[in-house]
Structure 1
C-alpha cells in the first residue's frame, strides 16, 4: 500500500501540505481528478482527490457540505491545484478541512495533475516489483526448506517468519506436531480440537476459524491420495493477496515431503518385512545377515512378539498401528509399547495377521490387571468403523520367536474385537540360553537326556529305559545338566519353559 508521505517525498515541492507542516500517516488507494460538486459516486474511499477549485467556491456552507460528503465516503485527502482559476487556498476550505480531519495539499502552478497520478503509479509498480522479489525469495526459501532433513519444521519456520506470526504442522497419523516459534506451543491443544471438528479432507481443503482473537487459516495436506497432515497459519498482520499463494506453495511442498517420506517408509517397511519373515520362520542368523545387507537395524536379542487382527491392519502406518494397540493396553508399560511399535521396522503378515517384533523394555508389566488370567479387559477406540484385536507375548529371546508365532497368533485370533490379550505362556527369556548351554556340553548328549527326563515327568526308571542308560548314569547326567544351567529341573516354572524351548 502506498502512503501519502511516500507520494509527497517522490514529488517534492510538486505536492506539499497546505499549511507547510508534515503530512498525516495515511494510505493512498488511488489518485482521482474531479471538478464535480459531488464526486463520491466515482470514489471507493482512500483516494487522493485533485481539483482546480471549482467545487470549493460559493461560500462557507457550500464548502463545508463538499468536504463533509468526501469525509462520509472515506476520502480524507484533498489536493488543490493552483493557477487554473484559484491562486491561493480559500480560508473557508482550510478551516473546513482542519475541522473535519481532511489532509489538504497543494499542487503548485505549472505542475500537471498527471504528474501526481504518474508518481503514484510509479510507486505502485515499484511496490509490486518489491513484493514480487520478496515473494520469489520466500518461494526459494520454501523450496530450499523442503530439501532439509526436517523439512516440515523448515517449511513451518519460513512461513511463520514471512507472515510475522506462527505456523504449525499437525501430522494426520498422530505424530509429533511442529510449531514455530516454539513459544506458541500452548495453541496446539486448541488446534487439535479444531482440526477434528473441521474434518478437512481432500486437496486444497481449507477453513478459517478464530483462535485467541485472531483468524487462523488451516489447509489439509494430501499425499498419495491420503491426508498426510494439516498446516495451520496465523499471521501477525492482515493477510495480503500474495500470502495465499505463499501458503499454497507451502502446502504443495509439505505434500511433496510427505510423499517422499511415505516412499522411504514403504521401502524401509519392505526391507523390514523381509527380515521379520526370516525371524518368524526361525532363520535368525539369516535375518541378521539380511538386516546388515539391506541397511536395516539389527534385531534386538530380547524382544516381544505382537500380533494384530483387523480387516486393514496391514494397511495401517506404523504410527497408526502403535496408537491402535496402545489404546487397548493399560499399565505402566503402555508408553514403552507405543514407542517400541513406532521404532520397529520388523513387521510382516502371516496367515492374515500382522506381526511386529518389538524390542523388549524394562520395567513393570504392561497389563497389571491381568495377574491371574492370560487376557486383559481394556477396550480400544476403533478407527472409524474398524475394530482391531491384538495379542502380545512376554519377553522372548530372538531365537524363540519362531516357536511363539503359533501361540501368539492363536491368542490374537481368539481375542474379542477391541481387546489386547497377553500370552502368559510366553517362553522364559533364559530358556534358550539353557538349551545352548546343554548343547555345548560335548561329553554326553545332555539335550536329549533332559528332553526325555522332562517328557517323562522326572521318572528315573522310565527315562533310563528310554535312553538305554543305567539309572545311576542318568542321575549323573541330570546332575551335570542342573549344575551347568544352575537351575532345579524339578521346578515346574523351570521345566515348563525349558521344555517349550527344547521342543522349538
Structure 2
C-alpha cells in the first residue's frame, strides 16, 4: 500500500490507518455495495464513492470493520461526488484497525488507480517468475557442490528469508544464516505440524513459517522450513518445492548406494562360496547395460604402453563414466594394464561412441585407439570384447572408434600375426611363379590373381586382364605345374588369394 500511496500521478492522500501501509495488495476494484465484504477474498484495494455507505456512524464503523475482517488491504474513498470529504467515523475506524484509508480526489479516475495497481502487480509477478527461473539452476548446482547447507543458503538468499533443515529428531542439519539463532529454530520446531506433508502457520503479523516434509517413497528424512515476514507467494512455494525435491534425492542417495553395495557384496560372496560358480547374478547385473532387445556392445580403448599408460587411464575413465551417466546409462567399465573396456547398449552407434570422448583434451585423444564390437546378446560378452580388442589393435591412433564389422573382408590382413603368416606363405609359395615372370617376361602372377579374384570364372578373369580365355587357361596350367597344386580346390584358391593380397615377391603389395 505504501507504493500505491507514493504514486504522484494518482494524487492520493492518506486519511487514516497509517499503521497498515505495509499491507500487500493483489487486486484493485470498484464497488458501491452496502456490504461488499462478503464478496471479497482478501488483499483487495476497494474503491468507493460512498453511494452505499450507511448513514449512521455506527454502521460506517461496522462497514470498515467487515472489510478488515475479510483481510481487505485498504479502502480508497472517492470525494467530490457523494461526499465532499472522507467521513470522520471512517477515519477513526481506520486508525483503530490499522487499515489504510486513502482519499481519491475527483480528478483521479478510479480506472487510473486500478490500472496502476494492476500494472504494478503484473511487474512484481514477472519479477518473481524471473527470479525463480534464475534461482532454480543455482539451487540445483548447490546440491551438487555443497549438499544440504548450500541448498539452504541459496534458498534463503532467493526468498530473503531464514531457512532451516531439521532431521527426523529435530536436530538442525543445515540453515541460513549458517548460525541461525536458537529462538528462530525453536520457533520452527514449535510450528511443526506432526504427520503433515506441508503447511503454513502465521505466528504473528510479521512471522510466517512454511514447512515441507523431506521424503521419498514414504520414508521421511526431516523437514525443510522457511521463516519469513509474510506467507510465501506461489512462485516462492515453487522454489521451496524444488529445494525440497533436491534435498530428498540427496538424503535418499546414501540409502540407495548402500543397498547397491550390499547387493554387489552378496553376489560376490555367493560366487566365492558356490562350488558351481553360478554366474547368473552377474549376468543379471550386466543386463542393465543392454538395450531393449537385450544386446550390448563392447568398447575397448587402447591407451598405449609404458609408464604413462596408468595416468592416461586415470584421465580417460572419468570422462567415459561421466558421458555414460549423462546419457542415462549404467556404467560398466574395467581398466586393466593399457586397456579400458566399457559396455554400452547394443542399439548405440559408432557416433555415440565417438561422443563419449568429446570432453577429453586433444592431446589425450591423440593417444587412444578405440575399437567397437557389433551388437551381441549379453551372454556373448566375451565375443564382443574380443572383437572390440581386435578392432582397437588396428584402429588409427587418435581417430574415430573403429567398428569390428567394418573389418569384414580385410580382418586377416589387418592383424600383425595373421599378416606375417600370409606374407611368409606368399614368399615361400609364389616365389616360383614370380621368378618365372622375371626370367621369361610372362604375366603369370597377374593372371593368377585375376583368376582367383574371379573365383575360377574363366570369362570374367580373362576379360579383366584383356586376354582370351584359352590364353588364360594355358597360363593357369603353367602356374599349377610350377606350384604343384590343384587350383580346382576352393581351399587352395582361398589360401593363394590371401597370400597374394598380403604381398608377393615382385609386386610388393
Asked if these proteins are the same fold (TM beyond 0.5), I'd say no
TM-score by length of 2: 0.40
User: Which of these two proteins has the greater Rg computed from alpha carbons?
Assistant: 2
Question: Structure 1 length normalisation: TM-score?
Answer: 0.41
